[in-house]
Every structure is written in structure tokens, then in C-alpha cells.
Amino acid sequence: MSQSTTTADRVDPVGPLLTRITGDEKHGPSAHSTLDVLWVLYDRVLRITPETVDDPDRDRFVLSKGHGPAAFYAVLAAKGFIPESWLDDLAGPDSRLGHHPDRLLVPGVEIGSGSLGHGLGLAVGMVLGLRAQGLTDPRVYVLLGDAELDEGSNHEAIAYAGATGLDRLTAVVIDNQSATHGWPGGIASRFTAHGWTAGTVDGRDHEEIRAGLTGHRPGRPHAVVARVGVK
Amino acid sequence: MRSTFIATTTELLADDPRAALVLADISAADFRSAARRHPDRVLNVGIREQLMIGVAGGLALTGLRPIVHSYATFLVDRAYEQIKLDLGHQGVGAVLVSIGGSYDASAEGRTHQSPGDVALFDTLGRWTVRVPGHPDEVAPLLRSAVRGDDAVYLRLSSQANAVGYAGADRLRVLRRGSAGAPLVVAIGPVLDAMLAATTGLDVTVAYTHTARPFDVAGLRELADRDVVLVEPYLAGTSSAVLGRALADRPHRLLALGVTEVDLHRYGDPADHARWHGLDAAGLRRSIAAFLPVGVA
């Protein structure tokens, strides 16, 4: 893949939509870091459409790292979950799209997020709730950031999900090396130590991302570390 | 109250396929047989209270009705932001059931006490807060909470009154004073001490187990000028609610409860009641000093 090709060019038609989101996007770099993973998820992995946003049997995508949701909104617009016109007014007084997403305002958004370290716990609960109702087809995908892993709440969820073998759960960690003290030994090992399967992929390479996102195995939760450029 | 909670929850898990229980080790042994029968709906996450509330939020998002249980300080204080965001902000509810709120765990020390729990729920809005004063009040409150979808906090205590009162979600008059007599309101398990403290006084005594929503209409009907409120958690927790309810009329309010002081003392709950002025003698002293000359 050419180094001169921009991310937006490679996930057409999202590029123009991302450009369309104007206003004071306070977490710019983190928004772009997630773009390729989000596109692959919605284009090739998740079993969810605008028509099935309330279907109990849908896959769930949980954006835990609520910062910089411009790419998320652009993907939702590209896939028809929200009107493209919503992108023109980010965080305005009447806008449904803010600097952190709100599930009560945006169709297709599973959780309101922004405070770091909440998505994985909620996702664990979703997996358990689906299983208790006999819904064993849906997978729950959670997108986190490497710095977000600093939050101890994630480690409660990682340990529990691994110990109980929640194999309908996939965590995707966007690694732009923004954690202040880093993760010596690597991020994937934080998961595998607790019984998860884990893989590390190039977070700009769509085929690698797809392979990672579908690399789960029975009996274990799965983690994908998607490496992107340093923030 | 705790054993009533365990028995009722066990029945609910059997009867209601929506009911799910989330634990963080506390009381897990008491639910062992329920967990065997309903392994997918009795979930002990280990000693992980942030996860406990996050899991409850996730369960509710899939349509289940989570009951979440631990000591108040772990359930509420420790997981406050999860309660605010993983339940409240997501627009889903749960039934949070605590034990050991104020000083039931007196011998354990401050680490196991949470007099500020109800005040924390007041920062979040929309929570129903039930403070039963007797084990008989627990099962109906729990059952009605689990039937609904909203956010309910059920604060159980090892302190109890001699008698339970059904339908005490509204103020229930237990002793009627003369016209214009001061109104004394007791919430939950402080009622008996309050009845003893006001013996022989010309006051109206009313009881409720429902702190939120507080029975404002009943208060306005019963209150004249002088109002005394006793609650078994942080003193003044309900002052703002009562102040708003009576804002349009001249009134005086004495709000009694657990003081904010960390006593750094052990002892038993009766000792703590005495130290916080919530035993009958202490209440009597506070009330006598507050009421107009001639009443006390």
C-alpha cells in the first residue's frame, strides 16, 4: 500500500464524509486512527444494518473510546445509519452528533461513551445478557484505545471475560502508543495472560484487520491490537 | 432484611426470566443454589465492583432486569461513575440492593460504611430510593422494583423497627398531634427511636420507607410551621427536597441523621446511633431544643 495514499482515499466513500464533519473536532488524530478499523468492521464484519439496529440478534459495536468519533459518524453516515446532513453540525446546540457519542441521540450507537474505561464492562454485560436469552449468534465488538487501557475498570473486565471464556466478545485496541507509561511486554499479552486469544495487526491494512477481527476461536474472548501511527 | 432479600430474589429468578442477579462476591454463598439453577442469570464477577455495574448496564441494554447487590460503600460509593454512566447515561435501569449502609458494620470500621449513599443518588436524579424499616417491607418493594424498568435503590439495614408498614411509600401518620402541631417524619429504621423520643409530645409522627420520590403532597398536607426529619443516613440529605416542597410557606426544618464525622470508633450499631444523636435520648434532646416552648 502506497505511503502517499491517505487513509480517507482508501476507505471511500467515507473520506468525503469525514471531510464534511466541520467544526471544532477536539480529538482529531484519534478520530483518524480508528477509521480503517471502523470501515472494515461495518463493511465486512458486523451483522448490522440500518434496518436491524433494534434487532435482538444483531452484532453489537461498542465504541468505548468515545473520543474523536468523527470517523465513527462518517462510517455510520456512509452505511446509511444516519443522514449525511447530520455531519454538517458537529456538537451544535441542536446537533445529535457531539464530541462524544450519545446512544439516545444516534441510531446505531450502542452506548454513550466518552469517559474512558466503560465500554468493555458494558460489553461483557451485553454478552452475558444475550447468552441468558439464548441469543448465541451475536458478537459484541468493543473498540478501545491503548491509553484507555490505563483505566483499571478495563482490567476487571479483561480478567473476568478471560476466566469465564466469553467467546462472543472481541476487543479491538487501537494502538497509537499514546499511553503515558506504555505497555511493556506489549498490549496483546495483557489479554493473553487472562486466557484471551489475541493478534496484532497493521491498523491501516484492511485485509490484516479483517483477518484479525474474524480470528476468534471457541471458548475464549478475542483481542485485536491494531497498530497505527504514533499520535 | 438481607435474608428476605435472598429468599425473594431466589424466587424472582425462578419466576421471572428477565430477572438477573449480579454479585461481587458479597452474599455469593447465599445464592449458590440459585446460581446452580440459573447459571446464566446469577453472575458473580468476583471482587470487581466497577465491572458489576458495567455488567448490569450491559444486561439491561439487552432487555434483562439486573439486580445488583453488595455493601453500600462498594456498590454505590466505589462504583458511582459506573452508576452515573453505565446505567443513567445509557437510559437503562437496574435494582441496586445494598446492605450495611450507615453503621450496620460498625465493628468493621469506616471502610465498610456509607452514610452518603442516598445523597449520591440525589446527584443523579430519577432514582427511586427505598429505605425499608422492617423485613416485611422488603419483599413487596423488591418485587415491584424488579417488575419495572426504572432505576431503583433498595437500602437494606440490620436495624429494624418493631412493626412493618405496607404502603408506606406515602407518609403514613402513626401519631396525630393537635391542629398545627409540629410534624415529625421518620424514614426507614429510625422510626422506633423517633416514636420513643417523641412520647408525650404534642407532635404528629409520620413514617415512610420511600426517600425518593419523597411524598411531597403528603408533607404539604401534614406540615404546618415546624418540621423535624430523621433519616438513617447522612443528616440533611433530604433538606433540599423538603425545602423545595415548602418553599412557598414560612417553615422551620430540623434535619437529623448520621453526621459526616468519621468517628474512628468500632462498637455496635447502638453505640453509633448514640454517638450520632440518633438514639431516643439524643433525638429527644435535638427535638426539644428545636421545638417551640410549650411543645417539648
Contact assessment for residue A138 and residue A57, using Cβ atoms and an 8 Å cutoff: yes
Compute how many other C-beta atoms are within 10 angstroms of the C-beta atom of residue B187.
29
Checking if the pLDDT of A9 tops 60, the result is: no
For A193-228, write each residue's pLDDT tens digit: 999 999 999 999 999 999 999 999 999 999 999 999
Residues of B with CB under 8 A from a CB of A: 20, 40-41, 43, 45-46, 48, 50-51, 53-64, 66, 81-82, 85-86, 89-91
Residue B94, classed as helix, strand or coil, is coil
Residue A128 lies in a domain: yes
Checking if the pLDDT of A29 tops 80, the result is: no
Residue A1 lies in a domain: no
Structural domain total, chain B: 2
CB contact under 8 A, A122 and B46: no
Contact assessment for residue B45 and residue A166, using Cβ atoms and an 8 Å cutoff: no
How high is the pLDDT of residue B172? Answer: 98
* Residue numbers in A near B87 (CB within 8 A): none
Q: What is the pLDDT confidence band of residue A188, given thresholds at 50, 70 and 90?
A: very high
Please state, in angstroms and as integers, the Cα–Cα distance from residue B59 to each residue in B14, B55, B98, following that order: 18, 6, 19
Q: Measure in Å the smallest separation between the Cα of B175 and chain A Cα atoms.
A: 47
Residue B163 lies in a domain: no
Residues B114 and B229 grouped into a single domain: no
Residue A41 lies in a domain: yes
Mapping DSSP onto H, E and C, the string for B265-280 reads CCCCHHHHHHHCCCCH
Residue B165 lies in a domain: no
CB contact under 8 A, A124 and B51: yes
Search chain B and give the residue with CA nearest A57.
B62
| B99, B125, B155 - which closes a domain | B155
Checking if the pLDDT of A26 tops 80, the result is: no
- Note the pTM of the prediction, 2 decimals: 0.95
How high is the pLDDT of residue A19? Answer: 85
How high is the pLDDT of residue B90? Answer: 98
**H or E segment to which residue B282 belongs:** helix B280-290
Q: What is the pLDDT confidence band of residue A67, given thresholds at 50, 70 and 90?
A: confident
How high is the pLDDT of residue A15? Answer: 82
Q: What is the pLDDT confidence band of residue A24, given thresholds at 50, 70 and 90?
A: very low
Q: What is the pLDDT confidence band of residue A1, given thresholds at 50, 70 and 90?
A: very low
Angle between helices B2-15 and B138-147 (to 10 degrees): 40
Compute how many other C-beta atoms are within 10 angstroms of the C-beta atom of residue B14.
12
| B106, B128, B155 - which closes a domain | B155
Contact assessment for residue B12 and residue B19, using Cβ atoms and an 8 Å cutoff: yes
Checking if the pLDDT of A3 tops 80, the result is: no
Residues B78 and B177 grouped into a single domain: no
- Measured between CB atoms, which of B40, B63, B66 is closest to A131? B40
Q: What is the pLDDT confidence band of residue A16, given thresholds at 50, 70 and 90?
A: confident
How high is the pLDDT of residue A64? Answer: 97
Residue B166 lies in a domain: no
Nearest-5° angle of CA B18, CA B24, CA B26?
Answer: 105
Please state, in angstroms and as integers, the Cα–Cα distance from residue B235 to each residue in A19, B34, B37, B132, B204, following that order: 54, 38, 42, 18, 21
Q: What is the pLDDT confidence band of residue A85, given thresholds at 50, 70 and 90?
A: very high
Checking if the pLDDT of A164 tops 80, the result is: yes
Interface A-B, measured as beta-carbon pairs within 8 A, has a size of 100
Contact assessment for residue A67 and residue A100, using Cβ atoms and an 8 Å cutoff: yes
Residue B15 lies in a domain: yes
More confident residue, A202 or A1: A202
Whose CA is closest to A87, among A160, A176, A25? A25
Farthest CA pair distance, chain B: 63
What does DSSP say about strands B172-175 and B183-187: parallel, antiparallel, or unpaired?
Answer: unpaired
Where in A5-132 does DSSP place strands (E)?
60-63
Query: Cell 430474589, residue?
Result: B9
Compute how many other C-beta atoms are within 10 angstroms of the C-beta atom of residue B219.
21
Among A27-31, A146-150, B65-69, B285-289, where is mean pLDDT lowest? Answer: A27-31
* Residue numbers in B near A122 (CB within 8 A): 54-55, 57-58, 61, 86, 90
How high is the pLDDT of residue A30? Answer: 58
Residue B164 lies in a domain: no
- Measured between CB atoms, which of B20, B46, B58 is closest to A122? B58
Query: Cell 411524598, residue?
Result: B215
**Residue A51's domain is classified under what CATH number?**
3.40.50.970
Residue B295 lies in a domain: no
Question: Which own/partner pairs from B5-10 qualify as long-range (CB within 8 Å, at least 24 positions apart)?
Answer: B5/B69, B5/B97, B5/B138, B5/B142, B5/B154, B5/B156, B6/B30, B6/B31, B7/B139, B8/B138, B8/B139, B8/B142, B8/B143, B9/B34, B9/B67, B9/B69, B9/B97, B9/B142, B10/B34
How high is the pLDDT of residue A31? Answer: 63
How high is the pLDDT of residue A28? Answer: 56
Mutate to test the interface with B, among A57, A153, A169 (most CBs of B within 10 A): A153
Checking if the pLDDT of A176 tops 60, the result is: yes
Structural domain total, chain A: 1
Residues B150 and B192 grouped into a single domain: no
How high is the pLDDT of residue A32? Answer: 82
**Residue B93's domain is classified under what CATH number?**
3.40.50.970
Q: Measure in Å the smallest separation between the Cα of A219 and chain B Cα atoms.
A: 16
Domain that holds residue A67: 7-227
> What does the pLDDT profile of chain B (296 residues) look like in tens digits?
999 999 999 999 999 999 999 999 999 999 999 999 999 999 999 999 999 999 999 999 999 999 999 999 999 999 999 999 999 999 999 999 999 999 999 999 999 999 999 999 999 989 999 999 999 999 999 999 999 999 999 999 999 999 999 889 999 999 999 999 999 999 999 999 999 999 999 999 999 999 999 999 999 999 999 999 999 999 999 999 999 999 999 999 999 999 999 999 999 999 999 999 999 999 999 999 999 876 65
Residue B254 lies in a domain: yes
CB contact under 8 A, A125 and B61: yes
Residues B87 and B216 grouped into a single domain: no
Whose CA is closest to A156, among B36, B22, B84, B151? B22
Residue B160 lies in a domain: no
Domain that holds residue B215: 172-290
CB contact under 8 A, B40 and A121: no
More confident residue, A28 or B54: B54
Q: Measure in Å the smallest separation between the Cα of A217 and chain B Cα atoms.
A: 21
